[in-house]
Structure 1
Amino acid sequence: KIFRKGRIINNGTKLIDLVRTKYPLLCNYDPSDMTLPAALCPTCCSDLYNSENSKQARSPPLLKACAYVENSARPEAMHTRACSAASACDICQTARQLYKQPHEPCVCPICTQFNNLPISNAKLPTENPVTNQEFTTNNLLYIQAQLNLSNNQTVKLAASLRSICGRSSVESGFREKLVEISKKAENFYSNTSSSFYINKKDGYQDRVLAYCHDIEALVTYILDVREYDPYNHLVRIGLDGGGGMFKIVMNILDTAGVQSTNSFKDSGIKGTLILALVENIQETDDNIRLILSNIKNLDKIKYHICSDVKLINIIVGIQSCSSKHPCPYCETNNLENVDTFTEDRTLGSIRHSASAYKSAGSNKKVAQHYTNCINQPLLTGDDHERILDICAPPELHLLQGIVKHVYDNMYKNWPHVSLWLDKINVKPTNYHHGSFVGNDCLRMLKNVDILQQMAESHDKHIIQKYVHILRCFYDVVKSCFGMTLDPQYDTYINQFKYAYKDMDITITPKVHILLMHVPDFITKHNRSLGWYSEQTLESVHHDFKRNCWEKQGYKRSIGHPDYSQNLTKAAIVYSSKNIS
């Protein structure tokens, strides 16, 4: 056994006296010497006591184990002779190595019995010995999440800890508990095979859909496990087709408590649950409608859709951002007018316009006469509900779109602005027309001073107005794009609006959303956009693919006999570990 500091073992002063008198050559053993254990192991105690007294020993007084045993760097030096990996008595072995000269062999019965065994290279205790502590299941799950370990890797880690620190260093039954935790969400998921639109070349093909068949029951279960107030939480649902798989995911945020700042907060990827998963399909109205039809009781919970503008337009049933009425939140046909509010889009207005469009023959050439409403909304709700109250303004894509638009216009005036990107180590992506990822957008906004210095050194004063607009936008981002809301956010948005109007560049749908709808949304909910951010959804693509689909060994090619089962298991395991 491993004796820890502060733990007690059955020994007695009579036994110590026996050691001193009966076996004076027992490796120069001295219980007062702190380089040696303060007491013998139970097996040695029993051997020595019984050799002197044939009667059964009474329960002796208690002695504490010393710091040496708990800090031995070699696991074999912490075993007793009763263990399966037993060697000579630890006290004898240590003393032989540290105190006896080669020409002075130990003559005690124990060392004589194990005379031919190798001596352990035990180390002396450190200056500040650490108590041997048990790793609980939660400890190991935290390590697994922190290092993105697979289940097999985590089990191997537990085995290594037991080998180094002793069997009691890891909570018993860990493997079984890990399997149990990985199946927490098992009862909420199903799979089916349906025909989805792939692309123009391949048309429609069968694909396996793994999905949550009762979202209301899943939400209730999570609220109970996390002990959230059923009246003070926010359900955030995201849709996106990145990473080769179309996903619908959900986060449940506690609005009553204080949001954690660590990487495992409920708004991050480690708090994300998968609601639907299907591989290699297009983001179309028919495909998304088919997926949502399998998720039951969506209309029985209060939620916010958090996605990019393209998918929001598909979900609400209108045409793309290049149409005459591109905004999903209002019916404006003139984005340049940022001083006059137009009528809000509601579920009822879109349903009415889409029905009229269909009655007129569904000719897309005349869709603008029906405010570009071409499909019935995929959302459930009353006719009076505003789209802005269901679909949150997409924080991440507003950031990316506005920074990209300002940079493109700046590049037209001064192509050497790319040197600024090189200096601050920012590179445009190879997709989405060379846009910038979210962190790079923030890096650009934080390093506007460098841009100004470079422009002045090249005598490019025209860049000054872009420097000013980027600074104004950074104030907006800091005030209402995170989890903390600055009471002055409305002032910063107005300052950005006036600066932008002086720029004489086009107002994009994302700029329009920021200026016309973000203040309205924040005023109603009294929270910043970070609570509704789609950033987590973008991160889940990589996390699921690498750390679950591939690392956990679920990945199979489409059509493989195990594909359907593995896709569903992957969704269950990923969601189960993120429940609590």
Structure 2
Amino acid sequence: MPNYADILLPKVTRSENSIDCNCYICLRARCINHSKNQFVLGQKRNLNNNIDKLNGLYGSSTQKINYTKTVNKPNVKRSAKKVIKLCEKCFQKIGNGLNHSCAHTCEPQTHTIRQNVMKLVNELPDKQKEHVASSILKDISNKVVGDSMRLSTGGRGKTIYFKTNEPNDKILFSTGDLDSFHVNSAVSTNHMRKMSSFIRKTAGRKSVPVKYEQHIRDRSHLLDTFYQKGLFEFETADGNYQTRPVVWANVNELLEEVLKERNLIGYYVVKVMADGGQGFFKVSMSIIPDSENGTVEDYSDSLSNEDIIYNISSKKRKFNQEKLGYKSTSVKKLIMICIVPDIKETYNNIKFLFDLVKLNEVSFKFVSDFKLLLIINGQQTATSMFPCPYCSISLKDLRNFHKIADCQILGHDKSKSLKTYGDLKQDCAKYVSLGKSKKMSKESHSVINEPIFYEDKDVKVLEKCYIPELHLLQGFVNHLFWNGLVLVLGREKALIWPLKLKIISKNYHGEIFEGNACRKLLKEADALCDKIIYENVGILALVPFISAFKAMNKMVNLCFSTERRGSIDALDKIIEELKKALLATGVSITLKIHVLLEHVKPTLSLLKNSEGLGKWSEQAGESVHREFLSFWEKHKINLINDPSYSQRLKAATVQFSSFHI
């Protein structure tokens, strides 16, 4: 390199006319758009060591100094490297003037050797100390069995731990495990990629399956080709017709693809659910294999011995979820058929959507709330002259508790009183013959439209549309509480009962208790026997309500779970007990209470011996609103008329169904 040490630089002053330095470094620093030289690895720059005007290595050109003369650096004799001589026995420094302890002995002492070696090591630079320590530990680690070793220090010992460099070949988290976590936590695919990368770095390179990131990308678009999007006109809540984006799939093609992906072979049943919520109307389906067993909870303490036909273990029977991850009836296994935002639940809207997805081309069972069920049957609302979707009881007879026996099925063979699809079509034809006058709809049993489902005329409505057990439970508890207890006790006293159980009501279509809260109130009916609650009316005024809640609790324990916990004959005794308690309370009989008293037993007779109503619950169809919301939040756009709304809605729907396979 050039001899920069002897270069003569100009004197630095505070004057405005100070002289700029024109050395090579300063010239290069002041140069604009100077092209950087490209050097190949290993190639040296060919620079002259002389400082003169030819190569630009000179000081101020204005000073009259002769730089052409080469400035030679005086030759300095380098000192020789310092060599340390050690004794081969005791490793002590030896040399002139140094005392050597083992020079006059045959064998050096052990402690002397250790002291000499430690003294020698302490004199080494830090980097050389690290080299010595790593070399020693490497030799020790080859002899260690396990991942730790206790070292002797001449005093209190120390333990060192060895981290093996061998990669972990065991897959700690399978693809199915990660997919189940993804669906359960409802996180984004990007979050799952980050989590898998963290697991791989922490637990080993092979702790996560290879190419999991690619797997999750492909999985999110698994059903992309089966969904379509379009714009159609629907009736909205304000009574006008407006264009709404729809995302749908052909239910037959979608069903075949899901069966192939789940590798389901053998008999299965499709349960279709429809409901509106969170700003969308959704139609979804669950595919239930015949071989799947549900989870049985322990309610044996609430049933008498004569009501139980088999022993129930005190532990819950757990469904084997190794293959599917979740029960097929769970919302985590729900597949979206179609979705449309902000429409009114009317006959024309529902029929258009069911025809669009070609729902009648597959065999299925349908479950929904009573409002939608009446619409699908072509009937008027639950306040019409004939409100029951399953039988032809009039509203007058329904509300007159003493005449419920006119539609009674228990103890008698009155299956003909159950509606068939032939009856619905016949009533619709009669309504048309009367000029489609709604004033005359009572002559057609409140049927004003053709049933949407295509079934044979002998098929009963109860065979196609099972009773919604969740709505029955909520309807019974809320009606008995708000229209019974509150009227007897007063609102403040009545609310002491749920508040003691840490239960609060929700403002949803009025003030109601949700499903889990209703279940807890039934179990804790005896909590009404609190003097603070009944002090103004007496305990006798609450006995009928307590009896009604207890009777309903027995019915729920018997047949509202996924498996039945007693015989159908045991249900007769519970229903009679429930009727007497309701008669004593004086509350009105609603459509849901009527279905509880009259149509639960016929529904159970249609199911298999061990099946309960819980297997055909509408719970998943109600929970789909919150489940879909987590996917919609990643693609959400507020303006329905935005051109990209349909595409975003389709992306969210595809991801929802793809992750729920």
TM range (shorter): 0.7 to 0.9
| Alignment match of 1:208 (pick from 220, 230, 245) | 245
Q: Work out whether 1:254 is the aligned partner of 2:337.
A: no
SS at the partner of 2:512? Answer: coil
SS at the partner of 1:401? Answer: helix
Q: Choose 424-433 or 365-374, whichever is displaced more.
A: 424-433
> 1:447-493 CA distances to partner (integer Å, 9 max, x unpaired)?
11211234456634201110111000000011111112022334323
> 1:332-376 CA distances to partner (integer Å, 9 max, x unpaired)?
112133323372211121112112212322222221111000111
Equivalent AA in structure 1 for residue 614 of structure 2: G
Measure the CA separation in 1 of the matches of 2:198 and 2:133: 37
- CA shift, 1:25, in A, is 6.1
Equivalent AA in structure 2 for residue 218 of structure 1: L
- 8 Å contact from structure 1 (residues 37, 67) kept in 2: no
> 1:153-189 CA distances to partner (integer Å, 9 max, x unpaired)?
1111112222323433322211111122122222322
Q: 1:555 to 1:200 in 2, by over 3 A?
A: closer
> 1:197-246 CA distances to partner (integer Å, 9 max, x unpaired)?
11226x11101111112x22322333333333432x22111110111100
Q: 1:160 to 1:395 in 2, by over 3 A?
A: same
> 1:116-170 CA distances to partner (integer Å, 9 max, x unpaired)?
xxxxxx97779xxx98644332222122123221111111111222232343332
Measure the CA separation in 1 of the matches of 2:657 and 2:430: 42
| Alignment match of 1:410 (pick from 485, 495, 507) | 485
Q: Work out whether 1:485 is the aligned partner of 2:485.
A: no
Q: How does 1:127-142 map to 2 (within 5 A)?
A: 133-142=171-180
| Alignment match of 1:308 (pick from 369, 385, 406) | 369
TM-score (norm 2): 0.67
> 1:227-279 CA distances to partner (integer Å, 9 max, x unpaired)?
33432x22111110111100001011122232365782111111100011001
> Corresponding residue for 1:219?
255
Q: Work out whether 1:500 is the aligned partner of 2:579.
A: no
| Alignment match of 1:544 (pick from 610, 617, 628) | 628
- 8 Å contact from structure 1 (residues 223, 230) kept in 2: no
> Corresponding residue for 1:470?
549
Q: 1:25 to 1:286 in 2, by over 3 A?
A: closer
Q: 1:406 to 1:165 in 2, by over 3 A?
A: same
Q: Work out whether 1:183 is the aligned partner of 2:221.
A: yes
Q: Which ranges in structure 1 are unaligned for 5 or more consecutive residues? A: 1-22, 40-63, 69-93, 102-121
Q: 1:490 to 1:222 in 2, by over 3 A?
A: farther
TM-score (norm 1): 0.76
SS at the partner of 2:511? Answer: coil
- CA shift, 1:67, in A, is 4.1
Q: What's the C-alpha RMSD, in Å, of the aligned pairs?
A: 2.8
> Corresponding residue for 1:356?
430
Q: Work out whether 1:577 is the aligned partner of 2:651.
A: no
Measure the CA separation in 1 of the matches of 2:195 and 2:480: 49
- 8 Å contact from structure 2 (residues 489, 534) kept in 1: no
Equivalent AA in structure 2 for residue 165 of structure 1: A
Measure the CA separation in 2 of the matches of 1:125 and 1:490: 69
Measure the CA separation in 2 of the matches of 1:528 and 1:37: 64
- CA shift, 1:410, in A, is 1.3
- 8 Å contact from structure 2 (residues 434, 440) kept in 1: no
Which of these two proteins has the greater Rg computed from alpha carbons? Answer: 2
SS at the partner of 2:373? Answer: helix
How many residue pairs get aligned? The number is 473
Q: Work out whether 1:429 is the aligned partner of 2:506.
A: yes
- 8 Å contact from structure 2 (residues 249, 337) kept in 1: yes
> Corresponding residue for 2:440?
366
SS at the partner of 1:209? Answer: strand
- 8 Å contact from structure 2 (residues 271, 366) kept in 1: yes
Q: 1:410 to 1:173 in 2, by over 3 A?
A: same
> Corresponding residue for 1:155?
193
- 8 Å contact from structure 1 (residues 198, 282) kept in 2: yes
Q: Work out whether 1:173 is the aligned partner of 2:281.
A: no
Equivalent AA in structure 1 for residue 455 of structure 2: G
> Corresponding residue for 2:451?
377
Measure the CA separation in 2 of the matches of 1:246 and 1:132: 45
Among the aligned pairs, what percent are the same residue? 28
- 8 Å contact from structure 2 (residues 169, 206) kept in 1: no
Q: 1:332 to 1:25 in 2, by over 3 A?
A: closer
> Corresponding residue for 1:557?
639
Q: 1:506 to 1:25 in 2, by over 3 A?
A: closer
- 8 Å contact from structure 1 (residues 485, 528) kept in 2: yes
Q: Choose 309-318 or 134-143, whichever is displaced more.
A: 134-143
> Corresponding residue for 1:76?
none
Equivalent AA in structure 2 for residue 522 of structure 1: L
Measure the CA separation in 1 of the matches of 2:247 and 2:259: 23
Measure the CA separation in 2 of the matches of 1:155 and 1:406: 51
Q: How does 1:223-234 map to 2 (within 5 A)?
A: 223-231=259-267, 233-234=268-269
Measure the CA separation in 1 of the matches of 2:217 and 2:152: 49
Q: How does 1:87-126 map to 2 (within 5 A)?
A: none
